[in-house]
Structure 1
Amino acid sequence: MDLELLLSLHREGRLFVNPKRIRLLECIRAQGSISQGAKAASISYKSAWDAVREMNELAGQPVVESEAGGKGGGGARLTPYGERLLKVYSLLARIERMAVDALQDEAASLDSLLAVVARFGLQTSARNQFFARVEGMDPSDLSRKVRLRLDGGALLYADITEQSCRRLGLAPGKEVLALIKAPWVAVETAPADDTRNRLAGAIVEVASGEQFNEITLRLDQGHEIHALRPAQEPLPAPGSRAFACFAPDQVILATLG
C-alpha cells in the first residue's frame, strides 16, 4: 500500500502551509521574485501573491519580503523565518514518513517515538542497537550503573557518568537506545561469572574475512547481536549455543530528550 503524504499546517482555522505553498516558497527563493516563483511553481501570479500575503499574515511576521515594481514584478526573498519554515516543514515531513513506514511494518513497535525513530530514521556506525527502558541506577564513584530492560526481558548494564545521566535525563522508566559496536562484543561459550553483560543465544551466521570474522547471534529474546572478532580466534559453529559478552562501559545510550 503506497500512502501519499500531504502535510498541512493551519492557524486559526486557516491554511498556513501545505505542499503547494512550500513549493512556491522554494521557487521564490530560487527565482528571486514572486512572479517568477509563481511561474516555476505553475500557479498564477495572483494565487502566489495571495498565498504569500496570507502566510505573512498568519505567521505574524514576514515569510517573504518583496519589492514592488521592476522587471518581472519586482524582487522577493525569503526572510530568516521563511528559511526556518522550509527546514521545519522538511523535518516534519520526514517524521511523518517514518510514521507511515511504521504503520506498514508489522514488526515495528508503535509504543514509543524513540523506537520508531531508531528503526526508520537513525543511522549510526554501531551495528547493535537495542531499544530499552531504564529499570534502575546504582551509584558507582563518579558514574552510575544503569540497569536496562530490553524488549523481551533481557537485562543490560551500562556505566554512564553522572554528568551524562543528568544530560540525558535518565530515570526509571526512561526510554533509551543502547548502542554497542560489533568489535566490543566477545563471543564465549562459558563466560566468567563476573561478566556483567552476557546475553545467551545461538550462532546463526558466521562470515570469515582475512583479518576479522563477523559472528551473528540470535538471542533467546529474539534480538540479533553482531560481533567482529580477530580472524585468529576459533570460529563457533552455526547453531551452537554461545554468549555475547561486553563491558558496561562499552554501552552507549541515546535518548530523544
Structure 2
Amino acid sequence: MLNTDILLTLKINNQLFADAKRITLLKAIYQMGSLSQAARSIGISYKSAWDAINDINTLSEKPFVQTLTGGKGGGGATLSPYGIRFVEMYDLLTKMQTNAFNILSDETLPLNDILKVAAKVSLQSSARNQFYGVITSININEVAGFITVLLQDKQTEMTAYITHSSIERLNLMIGKEVILFVKAPQIELLDHADCNHYLTHVDSFVRSKHWGELTLSLASGINIYASRAIEDFKQLTIEHGSPLSIYINPENIIVATIV
C-alpha cells in the first residue's frame, strides 16, 4: 500500500477557508483555550493565527472561535460547538480521502459505482457477508413485504424481507443499488424449497474446539461465509470443493443503500 499524505483544502467564494494547517490551529485552540498559546505550540505568530481565525469566522455562516480580549498572553479563546463539529467533519473527510486512494489497487472495484466505493471507503460492518446488487422487484403491502435483488454476478437473485416504512425511509425502488448484509451464523446449512436456496462449494473450513467457519463460493464466484457451533458440522461432508446447500432467511438480511 502506498504511503500517501492527502491534504484537504476547502475554499468559500474562491478564498481559503480551511486546510490542514488551519485545522491544526483550531485543534490547538480547543486544547489550550488560548489563541496565543495555540499559535506558539504550532510555530506561527499570534498575528498569523489571528488573521486565520478572522478569515474563518468571516467566511463561515457561524463563528468557529470565540475570543476574550485582554488578559495575559492575549486573552482566552474557545471553539464554538459549530467549530468543533466542523473539525470532526474535516477529519472524517480526510480519512475518507485517504481510504479512497488506498482502494486504487483493488482492480475488482469499479470506481464509477458510488455505492460500492462508498461502502469500501467508509462502511464497516460486523456482518461477514456483504452482497451488492440492484432491486428487480418489490412486493409489499401496507406493513411489510419483500424485495428481490439481482446480485453483482448478474445471475444470482436474493430476496430480503423489509417493512413498508423502511422502503420509504431508504427511498427504495426498482433499479436502485443496495447492499445486503448477512451475519455468518445466520447462513443455514440445509436444503430449502423457498427463496434464497443456493448450491455452493467449499473453499475452506477453519475450526476450533467449539466453533467452525466455512468459506463457500457460488458457481459465479461470489463468496459466502457460514459459521456455527462445531457440532452442527458433524453430519456434513466438508472437504475442499465438496458441494453444500445453504439457505438464507429473508428476515435475516439487512438492506442498506445511499439515500
Unaligned runs of 5+ in 1: none
SS at match of 2:189: strand
SS at match of 1:244: strand
Q: 1:99-155 CA distances to partner (integer Å, 9 max, x unpaired)?
A: 212223223232333212322432222111111221111136732210101111211
Per the TM alignment, residue 2 of structure 1 is displaced from its structure 2 partner at its CA by 3.0
Contact kept? 1:217, 1:244, Cα under 8 Å:
no
The corresponding residue for 1:121 is 122
Contact kept? 1:32, 1:75, Cα under 8 Å:
yes
The corresponding residue for 1:215 is 214
Q: Does 215-224 or 46-55 show the bigger shift?
A: 215-224
1:197 matched to 2:196:
yes
Task: Give the alignment partner of residue 242 of structure 2, picking from 240, 243, 254.
Answer: 240
Contact kept? 2:128, 2:182, Cα under 8 Å:
yes
TM-score, normalised by the number of residues in structure 1: 0.92
Please give the alpha-carbon distance, in whole angstroms, between the structure 1 residues aligned to 2:206 and 2:6: 40
Per the TM alignment, residue 171 of structure 1 is displaced from its structure 2 partner at its CA by 0.7
Matched positions, count: 254
The corresponding residue for 2:47 is 46
Q: What amino acid is the match of 1:34?
A: L
* Correspondence list, 1:62-211, <5 A: 62-139=63-140, 142-153=143-154, 154-188=156-190, 191-192=191-192, 194-211=193-210
Taking structure 1 as reference, are residues 61 and 179 closer, same or farther at Cα in structure 2, changes over 3 Å only?
closer
Per the TM alignment, residue 90 of structure 1 is displaced from its structure 2 partner at its CA by 1.4
Q: What amino acid is the match of 1:247?
A: N
The corresponding residue for 1:19 is 20
Per the TM alignment, residue 95 of structure 1 is displaced from its structure 2 partner at its CA by 2.0
Q: 1:33-88 CA distances to partner (integer Å, 9 max, x unpaired)?
A: 11101011211111111101111111143211111121111111111221121111
Q: What amino acid is the match of 1:244?
A: I
Please give the alpha-carbon distance, in whole angstroms, between the structure 1 residues aligned to 2:81 and 2:140: 46
The corresponding residue for 1:228 is 227
SS at match of 1:7: coil
Q: Does 30-39 or 56-65 show the bigger shift?
A: 56-65
Contact kept? 2:142, 2:164, Cα under 8 Å:
no
Taking structure 1 as reference, are residues 219 and 120 closer, same or farther at Cα in structure 2, changes over 3 Å only?
farther
SS at match of 1:163: helix
Taking structure 1 as reference, are residues 200 and 119 closer, same or farther at Cα in structure 2, changes over 3 Å only?
farther
Per the TM alignment, residue 32 of structure 1 is displaced from its structure 2 partner at its CA by 0.8
Please give the alpha-carbon distance, in whole angstroms, between the structure 1 residues aligned to 2:224 and 2:67: 56
Please give the alpha-carbon distance, in whole angstroms, between the structure 2 residues aligned to 1:3 and 1:108: 20
Taking structure 1 as reference, are residues 243 and 120 closer, same or farther at Cα in structure 2, changes over 3 Å only?
farther
Kindly report the root-mean-square deviation, in angstroms, between the aligned alpha carbons of the 2 structures: 1.7
Contact kept? 1:98, 1:117, Cα under 8 Å:
no
1:253 matched to 2:255:
yes
Q: What amino acid is the match of 2:245?
A: F
Taking structure 1 as reference, are residues 245 and 169 closer, same or farther at Cα in structure 2, changes over 3 Å only?
same
Contact kept? 2:141, 2:164, Cα under 8 Å:
no
Please give the alpha-carbon distance, in whole angstroms, between the structure 1 residues aligned to 2:229 and 2:50: 65
Q: What amino acid is the match of 1:37?
A: A
Give me the identity figure in percent.
36
